Amino acid sequence: MPFASPEALAKKIIGSVQEYSLLSARAVGNLFSKPRYIADTFTQMDSIGFGSVPIVVLTGFFTGCVLALQAAVSLKEFGAVNMTGRLVSLSMVKELGPVLTGLMVSGRNTSGMASELGSMKVSEQIDAMRALGTDPIRKLVAPRLVASVVMLFFLTIIADACGTAGGAAVSVLLLRLNAGEFLHTSYMALQYGDVVEGLVKPLFSGFIIATVGCYYGLKTTGGTRGVGQSTTQAVVVASVSIILCDFLVTQLMIGIFGR
Each residue's pLDDT tens digit, 114-168: 999 999 888 888 888 888 888 889 999 999 999 999 999 999 999 999 999 999 9
The answer to whether residue 82 scores a pLDDT higher than 60 is yes
Whole-number pLDDT of residue 4: 65
In the predicted structure, residue 103 carries a pLDDT above the cut 90: yes
Its pTM surpasses 0.75: yes
Tell me the domain boundaries of the chain: 6-257
Confidence band of 76 (pLDDT split at 50, 70, 90): confident
* 35 upstream amide cis, omega within 30 of 0: yes
